[in-house]
Amino acid sequence: MMITTLLAAEGLAQLGCGLGAGIATIGAGLGIGRIGSSAMDAIARQPEATNKIQTNMIVTASFIEGCALFAIAACAFLIK
């Protein structure tokens, strides 16, 4: 009885980790997509500021990617 309960709890923990990693990945994809869309709109309005806009876009996208990587790593390391 006790072993069955422990195995069920471990399975639910693994399911939660997988869902957490998936949600982090989807969130990062949506965030980077919005950044790219906004950057293209800004470049269309002010083509002379392209270099500054691209630089800020890349820096912001890397921050989002870093946060998503930490979230996925946390989910992966919780599974033993």
User: Based on the structure, what is the number of domains in the chain?
Assistant: 1
Query: Is residue 23 included in any domain, yes or no?
Result: yes
Looking at residue 32, what is its pLDDT?
95
Query: Is residue 4 included in any domain, yes or no?
Result: no
pLDDT above 90 covers what percent of the chain? 62
Domain membership of residue 67 as a residue range: 15-78
Are 78 and 13 in contact by the 8 Å Cβ rule? The answer is: yes
Query: Is residue 72 included in any domain, yes or no?
Result: yes
pTM as predicted: 0.79
Token pair in block for residue 35: 């950044």
Are 77 and 17 in contact by the 8 Å Cβ rule? The answer is: no
80 residues of the chain, pLDDT tens digit each:
666 776 677 788 888 888 988 999 999 999 999 999 999 999 999 999 999 999 999 999 999 999 999 998 988 887 76
Query: Is residue 55 included in any domain, yes or no?
Result: yes
Query: Is residue 35 included in any domain, yes or no?
Result: yes
Query: Is residue 3 included in any domain, yes or no?
Result: no
Task: Assign residue 21 the CATH number of its domain.
Answer: 1.20.20.10
Query: Is residue 9 included in any domain, yes or no?
Result: no
